[in-house]
Amino acid sequence: MKQATIRNLHRDLGYFYIGLIISFAFSGIMMNHRESWHPEKYTVDIKTVQVKLPKEDKISEPFADSLGKALGIDDKIRRHSVKKGTFKISFEKHDVEIDMETGKGEIISFKKTPVISHMMKLHKNTSEWWIYYSDIFGFSLITIAITGAIMIPAGRFTFKRRGWKLAVAGLVFPLLFLLIFG
């Protein structure tokens, strides 16, 4: 392949995917820290509640849904769980946390963060058409990486002379991370 063709392919794929690259990178950074803060949503109200809960083995999704309705929550239930003595129910616009022993808890009302929640949805989306588009994007990123590595034809900054060392270093770091922390 000619150098001009390689450069043009690299440039045009980069231009075409710049928005998605930035969006994925930005939302990926936010997802890395989602245990510390919730970039997808922000709290608009916190209300304390006191309820009587059944024993843990009697808690089911229908129970969680009916409890939500009794607490004035009318949005769709997403999931529920009991962990470390806390009953948690997640709804589309509310989170409920109740201490299993005391029955004391909170209803946290939230709204989706504009733009950020949409970008993060791209990371989580599993619809069939999006999976295919993401696959094409992945192959395009591979193409961008390869064409970027080989588009400099001569000199001391070519892949053969210098680039391969940086590429190896770029591969070694995540491998070490996986070996040490994985």
pLDDT, position 81: 94
pLDDT, position 144: 92
In this structure, the answer to whether residues 53 and 81 fall within a common structural domain is yes
In this structure, the answer to whether residues 132 and 169 fall within a common structural domain is yes
Residue 91: name the closest of 115, 105, 72, 104 by CA: 72
In this structure, the answer to whether residues 163 and 107 fall within a common structural domain is no
Domain count, the chain: 2
In this structure, the answer to whether residues 14 and 45 fall within a common structural domain is no
Helices (H), 97-163: 116-124, 128-150
In this structure, the answer to whether residues 45 and 105 fall within a common structural domain is yes
**Residue pLDDT, tens place only, 108-144:** 999 988 888 877 777 677 788 888 888 899 999 999 9
* Host domain of residue 161: 3-35+115-181
Residue 96: name the closest of 125, 40, 33, 53 by CA: 53
In this structure, the answer to whether residues 72 and 119 fall within a common structural domain is no
Residue 154's identity, in one-letter code, is: A
In this structure, the answer to whether residues 153 and 173 fall within a common structural domain is yes
Task: Give the domain-ending residue among 72, 90, 112.
Answer: 112
Q: State the Cα angle at 71 between 69 and 74, rounded to 5°.
A: 40
pLDDT, position 28: 78
Mean predicted confidence (pLDDT) in 40-57: 92
